[in-house]
Amino acid sequence: MRITMIGSGYVGLVSGACFADFGHNVTCVDNVEAKISALKSGVIPIFEPGLDELVSTNYKAGRLNFTTDLSSAVADADVVFIAVGTPSRRGDGHADLSYVYAAAREVARSMKGFTVIVTKSTVPVGTGDEVERIVAEERPDAEFAVVSNPEFLREGAAIEDFKRPDRIVVGTEDARATSVMEEVYRPLYLNSAPVFFCDRRTSELIKYAGNAFLAMKITFINEMADLCERVGADVQKVAKGIGLDKRIGDKFLHAGPGYGGSCFPKDTMALVKTAQDYESPVRLIEATVAINDNRKRAMARKVIIACDGSVRGKKIAILGLTFKPNTDDMRDSPSLAIIQALQDNGADIHAYDPEGAEAAKGLLSNVTFGKDPYEISEGADALVLVTEWDEFRALDFRNLSKLMSSSILVDLRNVYPEDEVSRHGFVYHGVGRSGAVA
């Protein structure tokens, strides 16, 4: 099939490359000329394991193309995916749908013949109705159907998630659109991917409900971690004990500094705002948002307590800046709030991240960035593990103890057992473990 992907960011580029890899002819559109030129030259604007090779292979094979010419790309397409950003709107927290609606207008002006317009972007309930209205207003003569098809890609594992998904949700009640979407996803049937068809509004809400539930699960275990520290229990064992219950499951039960990234913060807030608009408040989600925001700075207080109550004038080494491993995404990363809080208390911050340093430089000031964990640890008063990159899982603590001024490890991801680091003279502080600083 001929597929056009409007938006060549994270979702659009990964989805477009994967569709092409399954044999479809895909054109990715973006209005930033520099990005399109870079993609044609094999330069990927984001870090996602395996994406550079996937893009290169399919571009060379002629199945994947890039352009700034939306009109011609849409005119030739059977299916047009809208995969533009829907950031939180400044001032009120609602999802900013201006990019979605602008794309819909351009699609309407350019499409020829029956066209399926798919919202891949994460959008609030009712957005598809508005897209349909816009297109009909622009082109009363056009034959089209608007479909909701939310993405469920995890950064760092997006290609695997696309090719072997838990489910594919398609929101439409149009018979022609259903047939087209079945053909689009037919190659995935060999991977036993369940395609779940429902009405459009239900599909739109599924995405928000799923992310909100996972955000609640993270927040729940973080609150249990705080309680564990007070009562002398171990949150990792609590998580395992409840996760063995198949009704609960063990995913997203890892205590830490709170959630971040491009999805959970904005999607939980957008769901709260949607619920308020419909006078059906979602109190659990409201609490989740508030607790998560407070938790990030609370992690800085944990570091301060570990440093005998003050970090003023002290060098603090930060391991990991991105909101999770295997991505360069700094959006709403817990490290930002933690570092700012430590700086507010007079700390001298030195940081290292395998992929996120360049993005972090535009978001942080007065931070010294190093080339590896050992460089930033030289003379440090404390080492704080914020993001659990693989290369941080087997640190040389014997060497670190010689480099650092004080042997203190604040492990905000519970990567290490206390006895492993304490035998090298380190004072260990984890999250939700007996003896951890609260």
Question: What is the set of active-site residues?
Answer: 263
Rg (alpha carbons) of the chain, rounded to whole number? 24
The residue among 25, 38, 21 whose CA lies nearest residue 8 is 38
- Sheet with 25-29: strands ordered across: 64-67, 25-29, 2-6, 79-82, 115-119, 144-148, 168-171, 195-198
- 132 three-state secondary structure: helix
Q: How far apart are CA 256 and CA 413, in angstroms?
A: 5
CA distance 200 to 105: 20
CA dihedral 102, 105, 107, 110 (to 10 degrees): -130
Q: Are the C-beta atoms of 57 and 237 separated by less than 8 Å?
A: no
Range list of H helices, 7-164: 10-21, 33-40, 51-60, 70-75, 98-110, 127-138, 158-163
Helix runs in 232-261, H state only: 235-243
Angle 364-365-367 from CA coordinates, rounded to 5°: 90
Block residue for tokens 């079945």: 182
Longest CA pairwise span in the chain (Å):
76
Residue labelled with tokens 């002819």: 25
d(C-alpha 121, C-alpha 128), whole Å: 11
Q: In this structure, are residues 32 and 12 in contact, taking their beta carbons and an 8 Å threshold?
A: no
